[in-house]
């Protein structure tokens, strides 16, 4: 005769195990990428963009975060900041990679304004209990050395001010290879995305603490 108590306890133990596994999965840390076209995969299918490739690479590794790509082509820092509160509430990330500022620089926005906007982004991330990761951004030299130098310098200055990691810009590794660039000479093409994903995986794992 089957002991009903044994069946009950077995089922209870199994359900408890499933619940623990589900809770562990849902508690997995999240890396939110707040960027522009360089991370959105300009003119590319989402599946080919480097954040998607990075997410696929990390998916099987439970000690690495899941990746949420919230990048939008054309976004300025102010536009990214406007979207940020809803993203923080929805995803509750542990880390936020801030890849913004290129569109501000290409439009010649005052460096002081870009600095103020990025400061707001960093502060909001910190207020939400997440850890900001700032990516260095550079713009082409045809904007004049005085402006481009001041623009580039704002990123390490912000990283030092807020005591946060500053990740190197991946574009210098890509732009020198014409076969990795789109016709506009500003955006990486599909062939460059696997390299960028590998490059970013190395940079991110160096600063992300499980």
Q: For 188, which DSSP code?
A: B
In a domain, 68, yes or no: yes
What's the half-sphere exposure (Cβ side, CA atoms, 13 Å) at 21? 6
Is the residue at 10 inside a domain? no
Which of 124, 146, 138 has its CA nearest to residue 167?
138
Partners of 95 in beta bridges: 31, 131
Specify if 80 maps to a domain.
yes
CB of 168 within 8 A of CB of 203? yes
Number of domains in the chain: 1
Tell me if 115 is assigned to some domain.
yes
Is position 164 within any domain? Answer: yes
Tokens 């970013």 map to which residue? Answer: 200
Asked whether residue 4 is assigned to any structural domain, the reply reads: no
Q: What residue spans of 27-144 are helical by DSSP H?
A: 37-40, 50-59, 77-91, 102-106, 111-127
Domain holding 106, by residue range, is 28-205
Q: What is the pLDDT along the chain (210 residues), one digit of tens a residue?
A: 545 554 444 454 444 433 434 334 445 699 999 999 999 999 999 999 999 999 999 998 889 999 999 999 999 999 999 999 999 999 999 999 999 999 999 999 999 999 999 999 999 999 999 999 999 999 999 899 999 999 999 999 999 999 999 999 999 999 999 999 999 889 999 999 999 999 999 999 999 965
Quick one: pLDDT at residue 60?
Answer: 84
Q: Which residues are catalytic?
A: 37, 184, 187
Containing 174, the helix (H) or strand (E) segment is helix 171-175
> Is 158 within a domain?
yes
6 assigned to some structural domain = no
The predicted pLDDT at position 175 comes to 93
Q: Write down the pLDDT at residue 3.
A: 55
Domain CATH for 72? 3.40.50.1110
Q: Residue 34: beta bridge partners?
A: 98
């Amino acid at each position: 005769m089957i002991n009903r108590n044994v069946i009950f306890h077995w089922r209870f133990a199994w359900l408890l195990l499933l619940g623990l596994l589900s809770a562990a999965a849902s508690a997995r840390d999240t890396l939110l990428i707040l960027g522009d076209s360089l991370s959105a995969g300009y003119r590319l299918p989402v599946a080919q963009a480097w954040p998607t490739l990075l997410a696929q690479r990390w998916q099987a590794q439970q000690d690495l975060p899941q990746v949420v790509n919230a990048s939008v082509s054309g976004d300025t820092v102010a536009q990214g900041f406007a979207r940020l509160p809803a993203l923080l509430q929805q995803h509750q990330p542990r880390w936020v990679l801030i890849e913004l500022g290129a569109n501000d620089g290409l439009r010649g926005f005052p460096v002081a304004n870009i600095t103020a906007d990025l400061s707001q982004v960093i502060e909001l991330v910190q207020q939400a209990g997440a850890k900001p990761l700032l990516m260095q951004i550079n713009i082409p030299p045809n904007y004049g050395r005085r402006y481009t130098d001041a623009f580039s310098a704002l990123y390490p200055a912000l990283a030092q001010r807020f005591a946060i990691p500053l990740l190197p810009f991946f574009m210098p590794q890509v732009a020198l290879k014409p076969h990795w660039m789109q016709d506009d000479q500003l955006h990486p093409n599909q062939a460059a995305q696997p390299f960028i994903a590998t490059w970013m995986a190395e940079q991110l794992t160096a600063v992300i603490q499980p």
